[in-house]
Amino acid sequence: MTRATGFLVDARTEALTDLLYDNRPPGTDPGLDRLTRQLGLRTPEQTLRSLPPPTARKGL
Q: What is the mean pLDDT of the chain?
A: 80
- Give the separation between CA 17 and CA 7, rounded to whole angstroms: 8
CB 30 within 8 A of CB 43: no
Relative to beta strand 16-22, strand 4-9 is antiparallel
Alpha-helical segments (H) within 1-60: 30-39, 44-50
- Mean pLDDT, range 38-55, rounded to an integer: 73
- Give the model's pLDDT for residue 28: 84
* This prediction's pTM: 0.39
Of 60, 41, 39, 59, whose CA–CA distance to 50 is shortest?
41
Which carries the bigger pLDDT value, residue 57 or residue 35?
Answer: 35
